Structure 1
Amino acid sequence: MSGGVGPTCDITFPKEEQTLETSPNITSKTPKKTGKIFFLSLRQLNCLVIMIVLAASGMVSLEDFGVFIFSAIYMFFLSKFAFPTKIPTIQQKPVFDPNSKILGFYIFFAAVIGLFLPILYISHGILEGDKEGIKAAAPHVFLLASQVFMEGVSVSDRFSLPIRVFIPVFFNSCRLITLKEWLIEEMMKGSEGRNGGSCARLWVGRALAVANVTLWSYNLFGFLLPVYLPRSFKKYYSGNGSTTTSKED
């Protein structure tokens, strides 16, 4: 996750993934190269369900849905004309050690703060009748689920390392806009007397919004851009981002 969430928070737990490409927002399991048709993972299917439910509820705008469509189209454009996989038969190495305990904790923490708790907040809001709170938080959850889904696609050996960087950077940037709107909405609810839920829910919503703005701002400006992006490009252009399957065996 990712992630998403963590280095991209892929709603992933370290033990689930032996080979995984990390980025602080939602990481995804790297499918083995078989030359067969690509199938969605359970994680991607779960995120797809979240996206469909939120889109069908009317809480997600056409602009947010357009972000997901654009990311898919532009990812394939970049992979074709800007950052093609240099040798189709090679398996790319991850930028960071997937067995790192620190990385595993970061992914888990980002998944909890960025996805699991906001989903619970939205579900509770349905019972409390806090439509404003739900409406403000939904775009972030939708885009984060979209990020996890697209990260699962990008870890295919059909895509190069720069493409894997594009997904978390793009979605993280877009989500900061929705997070700002969520934070403003939460802060305005108390002052204008529009709180549809309890007082406790009001403060939980504010805490969640602040936590997510802080987390994903650091994720973009403290990790993705200054650390993950340079290392990925260095591997890509130096030819160290991949190795032949025979060597791995």
Structure 2
Amino acid sequence: MSGVSLAVAPRSEPDTTTTAPGSKPQDKPLHRQQHQQPAVGGVMGSLRVIELQLVAFIMVFSVSGLVPLFDLIFPAFASAYLLALSRLAFPSHGPVSSSSREIFQGSRFFRFYVVAGTTIGLFLPLAYVLGGFARGDEHAVRSATPHLFLLSFQILTENVISGLSLFSPPVRALVPLLYTVRRIFVILDWMKDVWLNKTLPANAQFKDVAWFWFGRSLAVANFIYFSINLFGFLIPRFLPRAFERYFKERDELESKSVEDKRSAAANKLEPVADKKSD
């Protein structure tokens, strides 16, 4: 989840369906319309549908005392900081089209990478927490809940600001960057809990051993994925692309403003020249 809803947008394939004479364009086969919707777009659409439910679900954990105080107030500080940046440092250049809001469009491999991150970072930890509740494993629930809490707020923040022209590309790119940096430290605490503070009894059953190593493997997988995501994608590629687009849009607006001023000045001089010629 590295700015997933900001970085990846469903691609529209050219329509090669021919229509018979007298038929309406919307009378296309249903299977053709379904084929035009990419799989990743469906996943992202599902995330947009469940985001508020996920936040409400994690808020129940926070009320239960499963999320540390610093992680509870981190989204408020991050939102205030992003709002200040959008007003003071990187103001928006005005309304933009939906296509220009897409900061990064990746290849098919990148889309697979995003789906893998959604599975590793969201669905499996959520299953781990629910399994911990079912098994009465409070240690597992307490270890993984802060990560899920922050990730849910990251998804919510990304989806909210992606639809607002108030926020410029650099500000939108900083959302996954800020949350990922914080979550890496949270995941380190998660790894410490499951690797150092939790042990198995000598006569543990196979299902207990499997659950024990599932928690350990999941914590390590999240640490590896989001570390690669931060140092291999967000910092070297995603953030520079956002700044490049921002300054390109600013230069285009400035050049357009100069051209408009020149044309306005030329229009004012034309009547004066006509009067002199008369």
What TM-score results when the alignment is normalised by the length of structure 2? Answer: 0.70
Worse-matched range after superposition: 163-172 or 101-110: 101-110
Which blocks of at least 5 consecutive residues in structure 2 are unaligned? 9-37, 254-278
Which blocks of at least 5 consecutive residues in structure 1 are unaligned? 18-26, 30-39, 244-249
> What residue is the counterpart of 1:90 in the other structure?
96
Letter in 2 for 1:114: G
Say if 1:41 and 1:205 are closer, same or farther in 2 by CA, change over 3 A. closer
Partner secondary structure for residue 126 of structure 2:
helix
Letter in 1 for 2:161: S
1:146 corresponds, among 148, 153, 170, to 153
Q: Is 1:169 the equivalent of 2:177?
A: yes
1:179 corresponds, among 187, 196, 199, to 187
Q: Is 1:206 the equivalent of 2:206?
A: no
Query: Do the aligned residues in 2 keep the contact of 1:2 with 1:28 (CA within 8 Å)?
Result: no
> What residue is the counterpart of 1:216 in the other structure?
226
Q: Is 1:77 the equivalent of 2:87?
A: no
- Which whole-Å CA distance do the structure 1 matches of 2:53 and 2:120 have between them? 17
Greater Cα radius of gyration, structure 1 or 2: 2
Query: Do the aligned residues in 2 keep the contact of 1:93 with 1:241 (CA within 8 Å)?
Result: no
1:8-19 map, 5 Å: 14-16=40-42
Say if 1:148 and 1:202 are closer, same or farther in 2 by CA, change over 3 A. same
> What residue is the counterpart of 1:37 in the other structure?
none
Letter in 2 for 1:42: V
In the TM superposition, residue 41 of structure 1 has moved relative to its aligned partner by: 4.7
Q: Is 1:51 the equivalent of 2:58?
A: yes
Q: Which structure dedicates a bigger proportion of its chain to strand?
A: 1
Q: Is 1:135 the equivalent of 2:142?
A: yes
In the TM superposition, residue 28 of structure 1 has moved relative to its aligned partner by: 8.2
Query: Do the aligned residues in 2 keep the contact of 1:176 with 1:213 (CA within 8 Å)?
Result: yes
1:233 corresponds, among 243, 247, 253, to 243
- Which whole-Å CA distance do the structure 2 matches of 1:174 and 1:206 have between them? 20
Worse-matched range after superposition: 149-158 or 109-118: 149-158
Say if 1:6 and 1:81 are closer, same or farther in 2 by CA, change over 3 A. closer
- Which whole-Å CA distance do the structure 2 matches of 1:94 and 1:241 have between them? 19
Q: Which structure dedicates a bigger proportion of its chain to helix?
A: 2
Query: Do the aligned residues in 1 keep the contact of 2:3 with 2:173 (CA within 8 Å)?
Result: no
What TM-score results when the alignment is normalised by the length of structure 1? Answer: 0.77
Identity %: 32
> What residue is the counterpart of 2:121 in the other structure?
114
